[in-house]
């Protein structure tokens, strides 16, 4: 189950949010998104949260990145990218072993075929069996397909998050633009609340795009593995 978020901005000073706990956890949960948001707010620099809209972006950011943040290793959140990377590593290793086994069997068959007839009849049947047995490669293909299916779910999730974030930012930009934040003070290098929000929103979208690129990269590796399998080469 992924963390879910319900959030309403009631006015310029109030946000109402709800964060469901992980199923089966009745006590304080260090892996919950609510705790990560509190920690993020506590670590915020002075004036980093200028408006209720900045706080809303922080909440959105934590909800979308909580399972991707590999720096947080003490809690029970799964490191999604690490899990997929390890799974791909295992599949790559199995594929390498399968290729090595096939070429070794083919080389043995070649040597036997050059041997005297009496030796050939005694050994050819034993060498044909491993070459014709595609069960291990079939299981490998199924494992690759399963990982691709799970990766597809994650890609759908992050794309949906991006769609919601873009819509949220567009709506808030309209609200802030029509508000009474005021223009930037002449001669001041400090951005007004609207400019500050735009910078934070740009960073949030950039982080989301980065996660999408990482997931797409993992998908590309899997597709290459599937295309280069022994079954595909036959």
8 Å CB contact between 81 and 70: yes
Sequence-distant contacts of 43-51: CB under 8 A, at least 24 apart? 50/193, 50/196, 50/197, 51/12, 51/176, 51/181, 51/193, 51/196, 51/197
Cα distance between residue 158 and residue 156, in whole Å: 6
Cα distance between residue 130 and residue 76, in whole Å: 43
- The yes-or-no verdict on residue 144 having pLDDT over 70 is yes
With 0.85 as the threshold, say if the pTM is over it: no
DSSP state of 4: -
Q: What is the pLDDT of residue 21?
A: 63
Q: Which residues of 126-137 are buried (b: 16+ CB within 10 A; e: fewer)?
A: ebeeeeeebebb
- The yes-or-no verdict on residue 151 having pLDDT over 80 is yes
Mention every residue, 6+ apart, whose C-beta is less than 8 A from residue 83.
none
Q: What is the pLDDT of residue 156?
A: 92
Tokens of 185: 């003070």
Terminal CA-to-CA distance of the chain, rounded, Å? Answer: 40
Cα distance between residue 201 and residue 166, in whole Å: 9
Q: Quick count: other Cβ atoms within 10 Å of Cβ 92?
A: 14
Q: Quick count: other Cβ atoms within 10 Å of Cβ 61?
A: 20
- The yes-or-no verdict on residue 52 having pLDDT over 80 is yes
Domain ranges of the chain: 6-86+135-182+190-233
Tokens of 67: 């399972």
8: helix, strand or coil: strand
Tens-digit pLDDT profile for residues 199-226: 889 999 999 999 899 999 989 988 888 8
The mean pLDDT value for 119-125 works out to: 58
- The yes-or-no verdict on residue 14 having pLDDT over 80 is yes
- The residues pairing with 15 across neighbouring beta strands, listed in sequence order, are 9
Q: How confident is the model at residue 230 (pLDDT cuts 50, 70, 90)?
A: low
- Provide the angle, in degrees to the nearest 10, between the axes of the packed helices 135-177 and 193-227: 170
């Amino acid at each position: 189950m992924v963390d879910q978020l319900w959030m309403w901005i009631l006015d310029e000073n109030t946000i109402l949010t709800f964060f469901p706990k992980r199923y089966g956890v009745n006590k304080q949960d260090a892996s919950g998104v609510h705790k990560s948001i509190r920690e993020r707010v506590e670590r915020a620099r002075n004036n980093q949260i200028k408006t209720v809209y900045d706080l809303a972006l922080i909440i959105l950011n934590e909800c979308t990145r909580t399972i991707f943040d590999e720096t947080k290793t003490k809690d029970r959140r799964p490191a999604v990218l690490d899990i997929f990377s390890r799974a791909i590593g295992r599949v790559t290793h199995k594929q390498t072993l399968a290729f090595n086994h096939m070429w070794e069997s083919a080389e043995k068959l070649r040597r036997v075929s050059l041997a005297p007839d009496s030796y050939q009849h005694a050994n050819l049947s034993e060498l044909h069996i491993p070459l014709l047995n595609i069960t291990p490669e079939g299981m490998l293909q199924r494992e690759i397909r399963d990982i691709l299916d799970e990766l597809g779910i994650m890609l759908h999730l992050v794309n949906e998050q991006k769609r919601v974030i873009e819509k949220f930012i567009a709506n808030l930009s309209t609200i802030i633009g029509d508000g009474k934040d005021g223009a930037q003070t002449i001669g001041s290098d400090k951005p007004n609340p609207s400019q500050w929000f735009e910078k934070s929103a740009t960073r949030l979208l950039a982080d989301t795009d980065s996660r999408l690129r990482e997931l797409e990269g993992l998908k590309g590796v899997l597709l290459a593995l599937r295309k280069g399998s022994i079954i595909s080469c036959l």
